[in-house]
Structure 1
Amino acid sequence: MNIEQKQLISATVPVLKENGVLLTKHFYNRMFTHNPELKNMFNMGNQESGKQQTALALAVLAYAENIANPGVLMPVVDRIGHKHVSLDIRPEHYQIVGRHLIASIQEVLGAAATADIIDAWTVAYQQLAELMSGHETKLYQQKAAQQDGWTGWRPFFVGKKIEESAEITSFYLHPADGGKVMPHIPGQYISIRVFLPELSLYQSRQYSVSSTPTHEYYRISVKKEKGVELDTDGKISNYLHDFILEGNKVDLTAPAGNFTLAADLDAPVVLISGGVGLTPMMSMLQNLVAKDYNHPITWLHGCRNRNVHAFKAELDEITKANQNVTQHVFYDLPTASDKQEGVMEGFLDINKIASLPQFPGTRYYVCGPSAFIQKQYNDLIAKGIEKESILFEEFGPALLQLN
């Protein structure tokens, strides 16, 4: 990409800020019209809600703003790359996306899309595609090279299905071929694919692995959604609850994600979770305890009440058995008995924890709904915590622009 082309891309930044979502909506409509088979790969719930269009618009804008040095986007490339690998997205898919994206720029901008601008964006997209697919190729190679690793979709069966709370059920997933699995890194997720009859489509969703790493199985813990009008995400989760039984088969991809405990972690750890956001934290905590981690581990969790507090008994046992593990729990509506046990009332508030570790090097892991993550991140920053010490996992498309 030459200097003139980079300048042309930079010049489109104001247009992308104002009309980015309009462009991405047009793009997705165009692509699904010409390539309807791709609906089996994309989250149609995020399409209905508009989250995916917004996430793509933000990504395209970030790329245009950093066209002079796209290397600064590598943390974002890594996060998206893990998601793409978990969905088995391959280099050929980038060519389809690129064709429709360039055509959409022409159709949305009209006369403003000069030949030079289209040429510049064509080169820019190809550069981005090479950056992304190159990184993803390395991730695929890493998985294939690991003991018991694999790439692509692999059939599994449900060995056990266990209720963890009034809303959350765990599924123990074993390879249908009788083989082993590559142990996940605590904090990672797996993708599970099912056929959703009401959409006549295969749909894939990511669920955090909630168990300790093992070669035998993966455990995911899924929240059942309530209400008459559910988005597609809720329908997938409920399909698992209502129709997937012990012995049934599903397709999985190997563990992915970079919201993980560092292999050389040697500092206090603070886990902050809201609702079903506790699932990756369970794996992290179990792994740290199994390794006799010798730094303080503090877990803050918030949910509506005791009935929906998954893994409560297990967490209480871990806390009692390990002097370096501390729990702080918040319920929207705690009972008198809950309060006697130290449960606090209301939305999780780190400012109510006088003993919150703030030692140099402390790592803070946050997982939950977007609004929950935003509040905890802001409160941590206000306490003087460096943003590099805060890691968060946002379920769904990346919309939060925090780090």
Structure 2
Amino acid sequence: MPTTAQTDIVKSTIPVLRQHGETLTRHFYARLFAHHPEVRHYFNPAHQRSGGQQRALAGAILAYAQHIDDPAALADAIEVIAQKHASLTIQPEHYPIVGEHLLASIREVLGDAATDEVLDAWAAAYGELARVFIERERTIYAEQREHQGWAGFKPFTIVRRERESDNIVSLYLVPADGSEPPAHLPGQYVSIRVQDADGHTAMRNYSLSNAPGAAAYRISVKREAGDGEAPGGDVSNRIHDDLAQGDRIELSPPCGAFTLELPESADKPLVFIAGGIGATPLVSMAHAALHASPSQPVIFIQAVRHGGLRPFTRELETLASRHPNFSLHVCLSEPGEADGAGDSGIKRGELEPADLERWIGGWGATYYFCGPLPMMSRIDRMLETRGVAAGDRRYECFGPAQPLAA
């Protein structure tokens, strides 16, 4: 536990962290992987190449320094990270490794500014944060064993493949030991562990897109094809090109803090706004909400570039036909000639505030949204401007968590 003096020292480093945070975290990851290449498979290389992982860690370190004397302000962020760690089976012995290279990076990047007092203060602060994570993750593992029947990775069999759109395929998965998959909370994800094209172990998180309690888990994976500047996704391309019915992959138990909470009032609408592959946790939530209440207004809005990229079309349209309290709307930002022709439920254009006013009949709703970061930032600003409380604006970032205001 850092002393009061050490807490003050950590807070005094806030200006330098603002200025050099990403330089520090880039150095940290390079140093960590050079000394411990065995931990590389815990990290998505695409996020390393894009800089997203480094930016997220820099933001987390800065936030910790800013709130080191107010731990309650960090509770939500800690839970998100602890759930992600548990999905990847991070263990207590990993924390000293990270601490060693983080402190070494502080010394090497900050130079003379990294005095012994600064390093001692950050060592104490990191030790306390590691203790918090280790305790929370130990609890998560115990809960998984008690309620879900396993912790760590377990073999699952692919029993079905289904194309959802031009760039998304779903895999239906059941435990290889013949047991039934335990029901997940709507919005949770699993980690899968496979061999990539080079034979290396790779782990990735994918939201469960099926209704909770279904006979099989369903993950729906977008092909990350890459372009001239960004390489394609190693695992997503493996799933699309190589994995077939009957193959086995390993799954860790469902994790995640982005889960559905039904409003206390059955009259308060639930609004799900999905951008592309961001529909995956929201489809699961929509199933759960409709199962829980026949009267709760549920509004599902999909935003995609064109109809060929729209996932779960038939499934969502079936829900709309079966549930009077469910309404479905689609926005196509780059529609083809035939997209939406004569269909009043499809808008040819971006989602705008006037659309929400028309479809929701006001702003007194709880909003769940997921999709590309720029889209979520725009939605969040739109809702905030209209007076929607922060507690009614709930979102999830795929990949390293980043603040929408960044």
TM-score normalized with structure 1 length: 0.94
Q: Alpha carbon RMSD of aligned pairs, Å?
A: 1.9
- SS of corresponding position for 2:359: coil
Deviation sequence 1:152-207 (CA, Å, 0-9, x none) = 11111111011122221110011112122221111111111111133x52121111
Q: In the comparison of the two structures, how many residue pairs are matched?
A: 400
Is 1:78 the equivalent of 2:83?
no
Any residues of structure 2 matched to 1:111-150 within 5 Å, and which? Answer: 111-146=112-147, 148-150=148-150
> How far did residue 369 of structure 1 move?
0.4
2: CA distance between counterparts of 1:337 and 1:35? 51
Any residues of structure 2 matched to 1:82-93 within 5 Å, and which? Answer: 82-93=83-94
> How far did residue 282 of structure 1 move?
1.2
2: CA distance between counterparts of 1:375 and 1:204? 30
Is 1:220 the equivalent of 2:224?
no
Residue 359 of structure 2 is aligned with which of 348, 355, 373? 355
- SS of corresponding position for 1:250: strand
Determine the structure 2 residue equivalent to 1:237. 236
- SS of corresponding position for 2:39: helix
Deviation sequence 1:81-138 (CA, Å, 0-9, x none) = 1111111111111111011111111111222211111111110000110111212222
- SS of corresponding position for 2:350: coil
Q: Residue type of the partner of 1:370?
A: L
Contact 1:278 1:367 in 2 (8 A): yes
> How far did residue 272 of structure 1 move?
0.4
> How far did residue 290 of structure 1 move?
2.4
Contact 2:224 2:237 in 1 (8 A): yes
Residue 368 of structure 1 is aligned with which of 371, 392, 398? 371
Deviation sequence 1:256-277 (CA, Å, 0-9, x none) = 1111112675432000011111
Determine the structure 1 residue equivalent to 2:322. 321
Could you tell which deviates more after superposition, 268-277 or 213-222?
A: 213-222
Q: Residue type of the partner of 2:243?
A: I
> How far did residue 293 of structure 1 move?
3.6
2: CA distance between counterparts of 1:163 and 1:197? 22
1: CA distance between counterparts of 2:311 and 2:291? 20
| Residues 181 and 301 of structure 1, relative CA distance in 2, 3 Å threshold | same
Could you tell which deviates more after superposition, 85-94 or 259-268?
A: 259-268
2: CA distance between counterparts of 1:31 and 1:176? 35
| Residues 337 and 121 of structure 1, relative CA distance in 2, 3 Å threshold | closer
Residue 345 of structure 1 is aligned with which of 336, 340, 348? 348
| Residues 338 and 401 of structure 1, relative CA distance in 2, 3 Å threshold | closer
- SS of corresponding position for 2:340: helix
Determine the structure 1 residue equivalent to 2:12. 11
Could you tell which deviates more after superposition, 166-175 or 345-354?
A: 345-354
Determine the structure 2 residue equivalent to 1:44. 45
Q: Residue type of the partner of 1:394?
A: C
Determine the structure 1 residue equivalent to 2:248. 249
Determine the structure 1 residue equivalent to 2:187. 187
Deviation sequence 1:323-343 (CA, Å, 0-9, x none) = 111111111215456141121
Contact 1:149 1:181 in 2 (8 A): no
Gaps of 5+ in 1: none
| Residues 225 and 265 of structure 1, relative CA distance in 2, 3 Å threshold | farther
| Residues 69 and 337 of structure 1, relative CA distance in 2, 3 Å threshold | closer
| Residues 166 and 227 of structure 1, relative CA distance in 2, 3 Å threshold | same
Contact 2:210 2:218 in 1 (8 A): yes
> How far did residue 374 of structure 1 move?
0.5
Q: Residue type of the partner of 1:42?
A: F
Deviation sequence 1:212-264 (CA, Å, 0-9, x none) = 11264210111123355585662311110101111111111111111111267
Contact 2:183 2:212 in 1 (8 A): yes
Contact 1:207 1:222 in 2 (8 A): yes
| Residues 240 and 232 of structure 1, relative CA distance in 2, 3 Å threshold | farther
> How far did residue 399 of structure 1 move?
1.7
Contact 1:157 1:176 in 2 (8 A): yes
| Residues 132 and 308 of structure 1, relative CA distance in 2, 3 Å threshold | same
Is 1:394 the equivalent of 2:397?
yes
Determine the structure 1 residue equivalent to 2:380. 377
Gaps of 5+ in 2: none
Contact 1:270 1:298 in 2 (8 A): yes
